[in-house]
Structure 1
Amino acid sequence: ILVWNPWPTISMLGRRACPSMPQCEFTKDRREVADANAVIFWFATIPHVYNSSWFPQSRPADQHWIMRTPDCPHFTRNHDWKSYGGVFNRTMTYRNDSDIYMPWGHITQLYEEIARKPDTLGRHYPKQKDKIVIWYVSNCYKHLTRFAYANELMKYIQVDVFGGCGADYCGLGPGGRDCFTNHLRQYKFYLAFENFKCVEYITEKFWLNGLKRDAVPVVLGAPRRDYERFAPPNSFIHVDDFKSPRALASYLLYLSKHDDKYMQYFAWKTNPPKNLPPYKGAWCEVCKKLVQ
């Protein structure tokens, strides 16, 4: 399986990226294209209009070409998709109806991680958090829906803004991640506001910044039903449940003063749902699709 135009986060892609399926081998070496059963193309850097010279110059009849994107349709709107008719025969996206399912996070992997590192969360936990709401945001386009909502919310509750649009920017790399984690540990709630409201578009803002860092995510983006389908039960607060930002602010202030109510949003950690769907990650999903 060849990754034609690698994205930054797979700089260390190993040949056995899916250990449970050793028959699958991965590579970023374009010289191996003729032997590849599948070629993965990262959407972000393909030409806006199909240009055959950018792609492999030969294509075996049984070779799968997979279009991979983690982003919502807003980011694909400027491409001439008619020119790409018949080019790709597989999709690899965050949508559950993709040929290859590649979500930003997965409930099964989340519970597996908890099992490896048993949770030590106790009733004292809220007392370690002396601040209420944090928003870490770096896409500063003010026309986005989330800014209007956040600005109204800030009229009724203190929201500390960090990132490229706020008071402090932690940067990239390990040091930046530690900085960000240290910020989050002080807060009870994290605004997991997506850039766009797209079906099933639930990114690292929810999975990593919220659930994995022990801040209750307050979500704006995909419909509530999508969070209910994919996330642990009662692990989030959805803005659609409130008639106004003011009503949401009142609820967050209430929870911040009642530890027992706040802690109910962490009960999911010790009560995994029965029959969790099997999921070993996107690389293994590619393997499964090719082996089927």
Structure 2
Amino acid sequence: MMYVFYGSFFLSSGLPFPRKDGDIWALIHEESPMNKDWLFSFGSTIELFNYTSTFKRGSDYPLTTHWLTNKETLLSKEYLVPTDRKNVMRTDGGLAPIIFVHSDCNTPSNREQYVTTLQKYVDVDSYGPCLHNKDFPEEFKNLDGIAGFLKPDFLRLVARYKFAIAFENAICDDYITEKLWRPLQVGTVPIVLGSPTIRDFLPSTKSAILVEDFDTIQDLAAFINQLDRNDEQYESYLQFKHTGISNPTLKSELARISPGEYAGGRFGKAASGYECFLCDKLHKALDATKAGKPVAKVLYVHRNLTKTAKSSPTIAESMSWHSTI
């Protein structure tokens, strides 16, 4: 009676047709709509499912913060490098103020174009295959790939920098990945291009630099250079590490997460939680069927239009992407 589909492996062929009355279809998909060729951007696809578990808060079992372990992770000072030490690494160690490590180099958000233009006004160390200009230090070798980016060694590397590029591959409400949480965890200020609802999930009103707040890339670069020169102003973006999380929406979201559910950003635990959720729904559906009542069809209300923030005149301002999931 219950079929659960993982979005990354969803195919239009091989579906359990004919679909019997009372059969329940459920979707779990933590990726952006660009995964699976935008298949999940269409209402006709989403409407196949009775229940959904996606990054959208409007889904039945949201995965918005599935890369965030708990509030202790955000407030941890385990990897925090004092600002004066970062300054020494900037001058004596030859580090740029910004670190950029992305492996997907052709994305709908056009993040590579943005960073290319940003580099004209402020230095960026790019360790990944996208815009590569710096090799991993010898002590941090074997860090390639997603698994390497979760290792303590990589976290220590990110912690050396004042700022980190946190640009998502697609611009969708509530689509937030480890690219935001990782710099916040280690005490590096993220520069964010992503979810238009990102303010709902920041630890405080002053904990990240949002691209959408600047009219041009030149304006953004000037602000970053200003913070790089002013320690007191820079450290105000790390104040939440000492004062705690003040954002009520994020507090509520963290309180909703079961202890250890997303531990280490492991998607499998979130999937297990969704399975428990669906098990409860299945029993209710069985009861409804026995009573001669129809199985409820959940109305999906996630459709929206989103647009990237204004960028440099050298980059088209028409970077708009449709998102359903």
- What TM-score comes out, normalization by structure 1 length? 0.71
Aligned residue among 117, 135, 155 for 1:168: 135
Measured after TM superposition, the shift of residue 64 of structure 1 is 4.2
Query: Percent identical across equivalent pairs?
Result: 27
Alignment of structure 1 residues 173-252 onto 2, 5 Å: 177-208=151-182, 210-223=183-196, 226-233=197-204, 234-252=206-224
Aligned counterparts of 1:120 and 1:85: Cα–Cα separation in 2: 42
Contact 1:50–1:83 (Cα < 8 Å) also in 2: no
Contact 2:103–2:145 (Cα < 8 Å) also in 1: no
Measured after TM superposition, the shift of residue 106 of structure 1 is 7.0
Match of 1:279 in 2: 257
Matched position secondary structure for 1:265: helix
Aligned counterparts of 1:183 and 1:85: Cα–Cα separation in 2: 40
CA gap 1:239/1:79 in 2 versus in 1, 3 angstroms: closer
Question: What residue identity is the alignment partner of 1:119?
Answer: K
Measured after TM superposition, the shift of residue 287 of structure 1 is 3.0
CA gap 1:205/1:142 in 2 versus in 1, 3 angstroms: closer
CA gap 1:78/1:50 in 2 versus in 1, 3 angstroms: farther
Structure 1 residue runs of 5 or longer lacking an equivalent are 1-33
Question: What residue identity is the alignment partner of 2:85?
Answer: Q
Match of 1:146 in 2: 111
Question: Does residue 127 of structure 1 match 2:84?
Answer: yes
Match of 1:89 in 2: 50
Question: What residue identity is the alignment partner of 2:161?
Answer: Y
CA gap 1:145/1:83 in 2 versus in 1, 3 angstroms: closer
Measured after TM superposition, the shift of residue 137 of structure 1 is 1.1
Match of 2:5 in 1: 41
Measured after TM superposition, the shift of residue 139 of structure 1 is 0.9
Question: Does residue 70 of structure 1 match 2:33?
Answer: no
Aligned counterparts of 2:9 and 2:104: Cα–Cα separation in 1: 20
| Higher relative contact order structure (alpha carbons within 8 Å, sequence separation ≥ 6) | 2
Aligned counterparts of 2:112 and 2:166: Cα–Cα separation in 1: 12
Question: What residue identity is the alignment partner of 1:156?
Answer: Y
Aligned counterparts of 1:85 and 1:181: Cα–Cα separation in 2: 36
CA gap 1:285/1:77 in 2 versus in 1, 3 angstroms: same
Structure 2 residue runs of 5 or longer lacking an equivalent are 90-94, 137-142, 262-269, 282-325
- What TM-score comes out, normalization by structure 2 length? 0.64
Measured after TM superposition, the shift of residue 184 of structure 1 is 1.0
| Residue-by-residue CA offset, 1:210-230 (whole Å, 9 max, x unaligned) | 21222110001222xx11112
Question: What residue identity is the alignment partner of 1:168?
Answer: D
